[in-house]
Amino acid sequence: MPKKAKPTGNGKEEGSVPCKQVKIEAAGGPSSILNFESPSDLFESLISPIKTETFFREFWEKKPLLIQRDDPAVATYYRSLFRLSDLKSLCSRGMYYGRDINVCRCVNGKKKVLNKDGKVHFLQLRKDFDQKRATIQFHQPQRFKDELWRIQEKLECYFGSLVGSNVYITPAGSQGLPPHYDDVEVFILQLEGEKHWCLYHPTVPLAREYSVEAEDRIGRPTHEFTLKPGDFLYFPRGTIHQADTPPGLAHSTHVTISTYQNNSWGDFLLDTMSGLVFDTAKEDLEFRAGIPRQLLLQVEATAVATRLSGFLRTLADRLEGTKELLSADMKKDFVMNRLPPYHMGDGSEFSTPGGQLPRLDSTVRLQFKDHTILTVGLHQDQSDETQEKMIYIYHSLKNRRETHMMGNEETESHGLRFPLSHMDALKQIWGHPAVSVKNLRLPTDEEKENLVLSLWTECLIQVV
């Protein structure tokens, strides 16, 4: 283990230094561990005793945060999220190598995958774990573990971004993965046993892709520590890291909760720029003029770049007064692929409208706002191939928990489409605790009633 030392005067580390550490003592029973009253309450309780404002000012996308807890209640709660012993019952439900479970080990700085073909059999999995000292990586356990679903659903509401997770179970004296960095913000909860961690300076800060780094490129650790049950660790995307289970101890289990993949300003620009160009071209003749002959055959782009910079300045000027941006994919992709609201039972409250039918003299309020997105998009009329702006309302009430973050699993969008003339009325519903149907800003009573009835049918409003 490298000797601990403070940064030298030139800002370069002579050895490893501890990251920001917070030690807290026992503070109440299991009911006080996490606060699910609201998404912000949940996040604040997850990083307690650090305040949210402090976290985003000092740590988010900047540097690691380690919170070490000497609290048996927290350790017990964390342990309940996922244990090695859970694998037997999970395997009996039909888990498959590659899709649900990876078996791997770090050998000479490289990842060695030990997966078999087809369905995972628990006895074979346990044999590889015990005899080959292999790490078991369980993909997206929130599909099966209710409390992780409950946590991640609230975090998706809080961040407005997909939140995935993986569980890593590593036997004593072994390491599952070589040094690498990820393209996600990482929150780690230590569930069972102990895990020894080394973090290194990013070679690509806020990285946009996953990459393995060779030992001879990463230098000495900037942070080195051991996580114990109940401990919490955060580090930004791009942070190079590796972890191993110390020899002579029990196995280690931790869950990595991750978010903000492809959720940067650059991604948002790519998503909204096409709609901005579409709108501008409708009004600006220069944008509709043809490009020079044989432009696509040319190699040199200097002259074209100068012309494009002028177009970009025009777009920037237009953007200053824009109230609604056309979203190409990001909003829809988020709401289509996120978790449904956490619930007990069959979830019928999300698929079948309940309560009183809304009428013109009703007062209504929006429900499940955190699971609903209102956006403006382009709708193409199949009969005459014309495009027009429409309001789209997407929601995740009917999403399937079983396919969350599984990539190639088929998903479908759920929601409604309205004419752009309904925007003011929809903003009234979205922006007020309750609103009278007859006061909605639409020209006719019939339109008012049809609007609230459509929303009620999708379980998005209720009569109060």
Q: Measured between alpha carbons, how far is 334 from 327 in angstroms, rounded to an integer?
A: 12
Give the per-residue pLDDT at 7. Answer: 32
pLDDT band of residue 21 (cuts 50, 70, 90) is: low
Phi, psi values for residue 83, rounded to 5°:
-130, 160
Give the per-residue pLDDT at 385. Answer: 64
Q: Which two tokens stand for residue 93?
A: 């439900």
Query: Would the pLDDT of 4 be above 60?
Result: no
Q: Is 35 helix (H, G, I), strand (E, B) or coil?
A: coil
Query: Would the pLDDT of 175 be above 90?
Result: yes
Find the mean pLDDT for residues 323-331. Answer: 82
The rounded percent of the chain whose pLDDT value lies above 90 is 76
pLDDT band of residue 212 (cuts 50, 70, 90) is: very high
Each residue of 216-245: pLDDT tens digit?
889 999 999 999 999 999 999 999 999 999
The rounded percent of the chain whose pLDDT value lies above 70 is 92
Q: Is 108 exposed, middle or buried (0-12, 13-18, 19+ CB in 10 A)?
A: exposed
Query: Would the pLDDT of 1 be above 70?
Result: no
Phi, psi values for residue 367, rounded to 5°:
-125, 155
Q: Measured between alpha carbons, how far is 329 from 274 in angstroms, rounded to an integer?
A: 11
Query: Would the pLDDT of 16 be above 60?
Result: no
Find the mean pLDDT for residues 407-432. Answer: 90
Find the mean pLDDT for residues 249-273. Answer: 95
Query: Would the pLDDT of 158 be above 80?
Result: yes
Each residue of 75-116: pLDDT tens digit?
999 999 999 999 999 999 999 999 999 999 999 999 999 999
Q: Measured between alpha carbons, how far is 300 from 297 in angstroms, rounded to an integer?
A: 10
Q: Which residue has the higher pLDDT, 462 or 325?
A: 462
- Kindly write down the DSSP assignment for every residue of 398-423, as one continuous string: T--GGGTT-SSS----EEEEEEGGGH
User: What residues contact 147, with CB distance under 8 A and at least 6 apart?
Assistant: 80, 81
Q: Which two tokens stand for residue 343?
A: 């619930």
Each residue of 263-277: pLDDT tens digit?
999 999 999 998 899
Q: Is 259 helix (H, G, I), strand (E, B) or coil?
A: strand
Query: Would the pLDDT of 165 be above 50?
Result: yes
Each residue of 332-391: pLDDT tens digit?
999 999 999 999 877 777 878 888 999 999 999 999 999 999 998 877 766 656 678 899
User: Which pTM was predicted?
Assistant: 0.90
Give the per-residue pLDDT at 22. Answer: 64
State the average pLDDT for the chain: 90
Give the per-residue pLDDT at 323. Answer: 76
Give the per-residue pLDDT at 227. Answer: 98
Q: Which residue has the higher pLDDT, 300 or 286?
A: 286
Query: Would the pLDDT of 413 be above 90?
Result: no
Give the per-residue pLDDT at 383. Answer: 61
Query: Would the pLDDT of 23 be above 60?
Result: no
Query: Would the pLDDT of 18 be above 60?
Result: no
Each residue of 44-86: pLDDT tens digit?
999 999 999 999 999 999 999 999 999 999 999 999 999 999 9
User: Rg of the chain's alpha carbons, rounded to an integer?
Assistant: 26
- Kindly write down the DSSP assignment for every residue of 105-157, as one continuous string: EEETTEEEE---SSB--HHHHHHHHHHS-PEEEEE-GGGT-HHHHHHHHHHHH
Q: Is 234 exposed, middle or buried (0-12, 13-18, 19+ CB in 10 A)?
A: buried
Give the per-residue pLDDT at 5. Answer: 32
Q: Measured between alpha carbons, how far is 333 from 338 in angstroms, rounded to an integer?
A: 8
